[in-house]
Structure 1
């Protein structure tokens, strides 16, 4: 016989499969990674590739309901309800059985591995319905471009109506594409030029977070850009998709849905 918990909590499963329980005793719980400046209430650790933001998302108890809000995280917050996956773009009310997914690792073959926080509140909220996944047919474009599947963490090159998955991306390469894709989404689908400094801090953190006797500069960034171009460009020496903005940084030609 299965005994139901009488305490509202998350059943936490790490990317490695380790299971634990976190009780939601307060009306506000920040979820993220620990830094030198402090830590949120629920720490998702380990985070070997810095995919989890400092405060990735926030769970709150408001007017008798539990909600989750993405806190402007770099890699997004995903909600699984039944068989349906949706990206949390605003504040979403939680139901018993919902699972919050936060990317925690990327395998050497480019497959995402998630932290899974299953919401357990059987006596207070309506159970999440079981919904069949909805198939989405991507559109085609006139010029070569990339598309990004936020839920599956997959990158595609689209050219001449043919959609081809990009494989073999390292975790840092994938993180660079994902970050530039998010900026494009925020900018109503238009590519955004990012400075070298911004991208260095996004990939490796700020200087105070670097290991002793270790530093990162434009050479390190250029190595990541070169690796990405070898995967996404037909001619890496003459890139069309990941473009150099002279004296500024880089921008990525990628199509994402504006929200």
Structure 2
């Protein structure tokens, strides 16, 4: 008993117990922890990966590095292009498919462009190459982004809770800090809305399947599709930007009419 008590009082006993506890905790977590909700590790066609690699090195490596490891500008902390390992095919499809990438010039934020540089097959190949580097979100299926299978009412509630503070209550977009902005969402393809929620581009947070389920994402797409197509029964929307444009309209046109009337009455009395 004295020998056992002496070993318990040994200076290394506490450290050994802590190491054993940490090991058991890590083993238990690894056994029960779920896989990341949006991570995909499906087999990819070797030909698509090689084609995407060639396209990447010809068009993207100057900013993102030869192996997509990211690259600094040389000014110290400035980053020319972040690492793309783990962003998945969904991020590639969103950024390249909306014309944001490749960027024509450095800017605070990559703007959407109607001029998409690559064909969809080339975008798919680029996505296959990036997906081969590390698991990441995949491009959603057509069923997952079909607005006819979503609930616009529920999607509207989700949108107002999670998105309206940046994108406006009607998806008209809005200004953020340091020259950045939340883009308008009217007329945006459902696939790109889903991918944006999955990958969190620019200043947007990531809404993975643990935050917003795939069904809820489809409901949000259904809501945005509905407000993009419906007519405004109240007349002019003024961009659906709220009291700013409405107040400006009242000041410019309302006061303008009053001033005009005052001038007209003054000229009559003279």
> What TM-score range do you get, normalising by the shorter chain?
under 0.3
TM-score by length of 2: 0.26
Higher relative contact order by CA 8 Å / sep ≥ 6: 1 or 2?
A: 2
Specify the structure having the higher radius of gyration (Cα).
2
TM-score by length of 1: 0.27
- Larger proportion of strand: 1
